[in-house]
Amino acid sequence: MAAIEHGRPVQINGREFTGPVELIQEANRVDDRLALGMSG
C-alpha cells in the first residue's frame, strides 16, 4: 500500500522515502515480485 502526502507518494508498504527515485525503484521491486506469469 502506498501513502500519499500533498499529492505525492511518500511511502510503500510502511517504508518511507524522501525522494522520488528511491520510491520508484522500490515500486519496481514490488512489481517484479508480484508479476504474474514469471517462473522462478
Question: Which tens digits make up the pLDDT trace of 21-34?
Answer: 999 998 888 877 77
Residue 38 to residue 5: CA distance in whole angstroms: 33
The pLDDT of residue 37? 55
Tell me which residue has cell 500533498.
Answer: 6
The pLDDT of residue 29? 86
Q: Which residue has the higher pLDDT, 1 or 5?
A: 5
Q: Is the pLDDT of residue 36 over 70?
A: no
Confidence of residue 38 (pLDDT cuts 50, 70, 90): low
